[in-house]
């Protein structure tokens, strides 16, 4: 028995396959799929649809630049917002990961398919259309691209509305834990810290629960998701004439007396978070065009480097290192610790932080 299932063309670098959940061995996507078809004993992720869905979402190195044929370089919105060091390492080294760590790639395809199905019955909607916009940086032409989940023209607001779907483990209010020394947010978690301690990556100190300011706040959209939608808004407005042409053709086919202007702006955006229990809509403010362009320019500067970018050193970003399939490669290239461990080591070495002085400044 054979199946005509096509995987991406294998390359010596980038995603190579999976780390087996049972044996810990590195296997190719085809080998993992064959195991799933044979029953995958002991593996909760041994579903053929899951393995194929994850693999179909993986992109080979250089994928974005090949899409943007007229530009010198190409980057997707997702690539722009990821760790620039990880992006470079993925172009230079092979990597494997457990299906459990890539399960998000399969879950995302479920809502994408639903959005595409909806767009076929709503003449005002467009789904999963890849949009491009060109930027100039250091005499290079750079194409930024993305495929928003769902775009819809709203006749009452005379503009485009944007929806992006995100899967999430749980939707709940958060508890914000604030450092008593720096006033910076240590963490936002579903539950408050009780009877334990937590290390602050802003001051380097380990704080007991009673030392921390804890407040309950409503569920918040993730900052990276907000930035992604603002990049998408820029892409939509750069392609508003193309989108208008497409939707006007759909409107004419439906027999409606309505026309979408070629310069319609983005007038609204929402993130729709989907847990296994319920959805949560989170409105997203669209920034002024100058701020969106500055965001794209900042991230292009970070990722378009001749040398390997430095390790992450922002306390708000180093959590990514815990989930990075290239962490060991990163450690070896750096020649030392990365992530939280590197940040704490740097603080201890500097020995320049005075907790008491900062407490007085903050009025504690």
pLDDT of residue 4: 46
Cβ(236)–Cβ(250) below 8 Å: no
Q: Thinking of the domain 14-168+222-309, which architecture would CATH place it in? A: Alpha-Beta Complex (3.90)
pLDDT of residue 1: 37
Q: What's the rounded mean pLDDT across residues 297-305?
A: 94
pTM of structure:
0.87
Q: What's the rounded mean pLDDT across residues 278-292?
A: 96
Torsion angle, alpha carbons of 230, 231, 237, 238, to 10: 160
**Domain coordinates in residue numbering, the chain:** 14-168+222-309, 310-349
pLDDT digits (tens, 9 = 90+) for 76-114: 999 999 999 999 999 999 999 999 999 988 877 777 888
pLDDT of residue 131: 96
Smallest Cα–Cα separation from 344: which of 186, 238, 133? Answer: 186
The DSSP annotation for 176-196 comes to EEE-TTT--EEEEESS---S-
Does the structure show a pLDDT above 50 at 281? yes
Q: Which of 63-67, 210-214, 227-231, 236-240 has the lowest mean pLDDT?
A: 63-67
| CA atoms of 342 and 47, how far apart (whole Å) | 38
- For residue 39, name the pLDDT band (cuts at 50, 70, 90): very high
pLDDT of residue 65: 84
Residue ranges in the chain assigned as alpha helix (H): 29-37, 48-57, 63-67, 77-81, 84-92, 103-119, 223-238, 240-254, 289-303, 327-334, 339-350, 355-362
pLDDT of residue 60: 85
Positive or negative torsion for Cα 344, 346, 348, 350: negative
Does the structure show a pLDDT above 70 at 364? no
Q: What's the rounded mean pLDDT across residues 266-295?
A: 95
Percent of the chain whose predicted confidence (pLDDT) is above 90: 64
pLDDT digits (tens, 9 = 90+) for 7-19: 445 568 999 999 9
Per-residue DSSP letter, 284: -
Q: What's the rounded mean pLDDT across residues 37-65?
A: 91
């Amino acid at each position: 028995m054979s199946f005509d299932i096509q995987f991406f063309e294998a390359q010596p670098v980038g995603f190579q396959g999976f780390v087996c959940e049972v044996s810990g061995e590195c296997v190719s996507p085809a080998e993992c799929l064959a195991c799933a078809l044979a029953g995958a004993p002991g593996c909760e992720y041994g579903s053929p649809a899951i393995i194929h869905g994850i693999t179909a979402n993986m992109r080979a190195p250089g994928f974005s630049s090949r899409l943007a044929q007229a530009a010198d370089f190409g980057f997707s919105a997702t690539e722009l917002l990821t760790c620039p060091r990880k992006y470079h390492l993925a172009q230079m080294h092979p990597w494997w990961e457990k299906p459990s760590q890539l399960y998000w790639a399969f879950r995302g395809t479920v809502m994408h398919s639903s959005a595409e199905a909806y767009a076929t019955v709503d003449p005002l909607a467009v789904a999963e259309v890849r949009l491009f916009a060109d930027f100039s940086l250091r005499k290079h032409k750079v194409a930024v691209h993305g495929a928003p989940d769902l775009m819809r023209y709203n006749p009452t607001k005379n503009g485009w509305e944007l929806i992006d779907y995100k899967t999430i483990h749980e939707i709940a209010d958060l508890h914000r834990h604030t450092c008593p020394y720096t006033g910076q947010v240590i963490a936002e978690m579903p539950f408050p810290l009780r009877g334990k301690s937590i290390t602050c990556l802003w001051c380097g100190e380990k704080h007991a629960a009673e030392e921390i300011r804890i407040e309950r706040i409503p569920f918040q959209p993730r900052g990276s998701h907000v930035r992604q939608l603002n990049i998408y808004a820029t892409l939509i407005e750069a392609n508003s004439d193309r989108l208008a042409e497409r939707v006007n053709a759909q409107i004419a086919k439906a027999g409606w007396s309505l026309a979408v202007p070629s310069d319609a702006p983005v007038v609204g955006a929402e993130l729709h978070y989907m847990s296994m229990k319920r959805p949560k809509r989170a409105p997203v403010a669209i920034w002024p065009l100058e701020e969106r362009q500055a965001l794209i320019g900042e991230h292009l500067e970070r990722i378009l480097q001749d040398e390997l970018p430095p390790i992450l050193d922002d306390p708000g970003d180093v959590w990514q290192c815990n989930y990075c399939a290239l962490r060991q490669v990163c450690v070896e290239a750096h020649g030392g610790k990365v992530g939280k461990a590197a940040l704490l080591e740097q603080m201890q070495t500097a020995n320049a932080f005075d907790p008491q002085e900062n407490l007085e400044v903050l009025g504690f």
